C-alpha cells in the first residue's frame, strides 16, 4: 500500500521545484497525502494511493464557501471544468488569461490536491480567432505546438496528468472531423503527446473521451490507436473514460473494457463521472443512482492501473447536465444545499476498499 502511494504522490525533484519558483505567482505544490479524515472520500482514496477528484468551476470556487469546504474535505484531486480550455486561456491571439487556471492550481496546492489538466487539443471551445482564422496546416501545427508548450510549460510539475487529446472519435470509431483532424490528419495526436511530454516529462498524458466505457466501435478504435501509438514509442500514458451516464445504464462491459487498456500498460481513469436521473428525482431513482456510483467507481478502482475517479462537479447546483439534457439532472453526489445524497454513499462505498 505504502509503496503505491509514494509512486502516485511523488515529491518534486529539486531542479523542477527551483524552476517553478522562478516561473510564477503560484507556489510549489506538495503532493503529499493530506491529513484527511479516514472516512471521507479522500481519506479512502489516500489510503489506497489513488485520486478522487472533482471538476471545479471558477464561479463556485470564488463565491461559494459551502462548495469549497466540501471540495477540500472530500477530494484529493481537481480538474478545471473550463478554465484550462483554449478559449478561456487565449481569448485573443497572443493575449493570455491565466487568472482562473492559476487560482485553481494555487487552491489545489494549498489543500494538498493534485491537478488534472483539461484539455489541450479539442474540437470544441476553441477561440474564434483560431476557429475562423483560415490558417494553413503548417500554421495550425505551429499554433498547436505553441499552445501546448505554453500551457503545459506554465504548469510543469503542478499538473499530474493532462487530457492531451479530448473527444477525437465519432461513435462509429472513425476520426471526428475536427479542425485538427481535417487540417493535420491523425498525426496531430502523436505530435501533441510528444510536445506535451517535452514540456513536462513527469506529467501523465491521456487521451480522453465519452461513450468509450463499454466495449464498442468507438472504444475498439481507440484501443487500436493506443496500441499503435505505444508501438511507435509515443508518450501516451493513460486513457480517460469520461463516464457521463444515465441512471441504470452503467455498461456491463465497463470493467473488462478498462482492463484491456490497463493490460496494454496504460493507466485508466474515470475522468468526468456523473449519473443523470429523470426529474423530479424519485427516491427509487436516487437509490439506483447510488448503486451506479458504486459500480462505476469499482469498475475503475478494481482494475490494476486505475489512477482514480473524478466526478464532473460536486453539487447539483453547478452541473452542466440540466442545461444540456432537458428533463434530467440531480447527477452529482451532493444536493444543491450540500447534503450528501445516496449517490455520495455509493461513491464512498466504491472508493472504500473495505465497504
Ligand atoms: O465563459 C463564458 C462567459 O463569458 C459567458 O458569459 C457565458 C454565457 O453563456 O458562457 C461562458 O462560457 C460557458 C462555459 O461553460 C463556462 O461557463 C459556455 O457557454 C458553456 O458552453 C460551457 O459549458 C461547458 C462545456 O464543457 C463546454 O465547454 C461546461 O461548463 C462543462 O461542464 C463541459 O465539460 C465537458 C468537458 O469539458 C468534456 N467532456 C464533456 C463535458 C460536458 O459537456
pLDDT, tens digit, 9 for 90 and up, residues 192-205: 999 999 999 999 99
The response to whether residue 81 sits with its C-beta less than 6 Å from ligand 1 reads yes
82 C-alpha vs ligand 1 centroid, how far in Å? Answer: 6
For range 144-154, the mean pLDDT:
98
Find the mean pLDDT for residues 37-45: 92
Q: Average pLDDT of 136-147?
A: 98
In eight-state DSSP terms, residue 202 is: T
What's the pLDDT band for 5 if we cut at 50, 70, 90? very low
Which atom in ligand 1 lies closest to the alpha carbon of residue 319?
Answer: 32
Return the C-alpha torsion angle 120, 192, 154, 318, nearest 10.
10
Place of cell 474564434: 128
Give the integer Cα–Cα distance in Å for 86 and 124: 9
- pLDDT at position 331 is 98
Q: C-alpha cell of 214? A: 463499454
- 16: closest CA among 155, 110, 193, 111? 155
328 lines ligand 1 (CB under 6 A): no
The number of the ligand 1 atom at minimal distance from the alpha carbon of 85 is: 28
Cα 34 to middle of ligand 1, angstroms = 30
* Spatial CA neighbour of 296 closest among 200, 214, 182, 199: 214
pTM for this model (two decimals): 0.91
CB atoms within 10 A of CB 57: 22
Strand partners, 53: 77, 310
Residue 37: the pLDDT is 72
How high does pLDDT run on average in the chain?
A: 92
Residue 32 has pLDDT above 90, yes or no: no
In this prediction, residue 19 has a pLDDT band, given cuts at 50, 70 and 90, of: very low
- C-alpha to C-alpha distance for 313 and 164, rounded to whole angstroms: 20
Domains of the chain listed by start with CATH number: 14-351 (3.20.20.80)
User: What is the Å distance from ligand 1's center to 93 Cα?
Assistant: 20
Residue to mutate, 59, 82, 212, ligand 1, most ligand atoms under 8 Å from C-beta: 82
Min mean pLDDT across 23-27, 100-104, 146-150, 182-186 is at 23-27
Beta bridge partner(s), residue 308 = 51, 269
Q: Residue 249: which pLDDT band, with cuts at 50, 70 and 90?
A: very high
β strands within 243-339, DSSP E:
244-246, 267-278, 306-311, 328-329
Neighbours of 258 (CB within 10 A): 28
Catalytic residue set: 167, 272
CA of 320 to the centre of ligand 1 (A): 8
CA distance 63 to 86: 24
The verdict on the CB of residue 272 being under 6 Å from ligand 1 is yes
Amino acid at each position: 500500500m505504502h509503496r503505491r502511494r509514494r509512486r502516485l504522490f511523488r515529491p518534486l525533484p529539486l531542479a523542477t521545484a527551483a524552476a517553478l519558483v522562478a516561473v510564477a505567482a503560484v507556489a510549489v505544490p506538495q503532493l503529499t497525502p493530506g491529513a484527511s479524515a479516514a472516512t471521507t472520500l479522500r481519506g479512502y482514496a489516500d489510503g489506497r494511493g489513488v485520486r478522487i477528484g472533482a471538476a471545479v468551476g471558477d464561479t463556485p470556487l470564488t463565491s461559494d464557501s459551502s462548495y469549497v469546504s466540501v471540495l477540500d474535505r472530500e477530494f484529493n484531486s481537481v480538474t478545471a471544468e473550463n478554465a484550462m480550455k483554449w478559449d478561456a486561456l487565449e481569448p485573443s491571439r497572443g493575449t493570455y488569461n491565466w487568472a482562473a487556471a492559476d487560482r485553481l492550481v494555487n487552491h489545489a496546492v494549498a489543500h494538498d490536491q493534485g491537478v488534472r489538466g483539461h484539455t489541450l487539443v479539442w474540437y470544441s471551445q476553441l477561440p474564434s480567432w483560431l476557429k475562423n482564422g483560415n490558417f494553413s496546416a503548417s500554421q495550425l501545427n505551429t499554433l498547436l505546438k505553441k499552445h501546448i508548450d505554453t500551457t503545459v510549460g506554465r504548469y510543469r510539475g503542478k499538473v499530474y496528468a493532462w487530457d492531451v487529446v479530448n473527444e477525437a472519435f465519432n461513435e462509429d470509431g472513425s476520426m471526428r472531423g475536427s479542425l485538427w483532424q481535417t487540417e493535420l490528419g491523425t498525426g496531430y495526436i502523436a505530435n501533441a503527446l510528444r510536445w506535451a511530454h517535452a514540456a513536462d516529462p513527469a506529467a501523465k498524458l491521456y487521451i480522453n473521451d465519452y461513450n468509450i466505457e463499454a466495449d464498442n466501435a468507438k472504444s475498439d478504435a481507440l484501443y487500436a490507436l493506443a496500441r499503435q501509438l505505444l508501438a511507435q514509442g509515443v508518450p501516451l500514458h493513460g486513457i480517460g473514460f469520461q463516464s457521463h451516464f444515465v441512471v441504470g445504464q452503467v455498461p456491463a462491459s465497463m470493467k473488462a473494457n478498462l482492463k484491456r487498456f490497463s493490460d496494454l500498460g496504460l493507466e485508466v481513469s474515470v475522468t468526468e463521472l456523473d449519473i443523470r436521473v429523470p426529474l423530479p428525482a424519485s427516491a427509487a431513482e436516487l437509490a439506483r443512482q447510488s448503486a451506479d456510483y458504486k459500480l462505476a467507481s469499482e469498475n475503475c478502482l478494481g482494475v490494476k492501473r486505475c489512477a482514480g475517479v473524478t466526478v464532473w462537479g460536486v453539487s447539483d447546483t453547478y452541473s452542466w447536465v440540466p442545461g444540456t439534457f432537458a428533463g434530467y439532472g440531480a447527477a452529482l453526489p451532493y444536493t444543491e444545499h450540500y447534503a450528501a445524497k445516496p449517490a455520495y454513499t455509493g461513491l464512498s462505498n466504491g472508493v472504500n476498499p473495505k465497504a
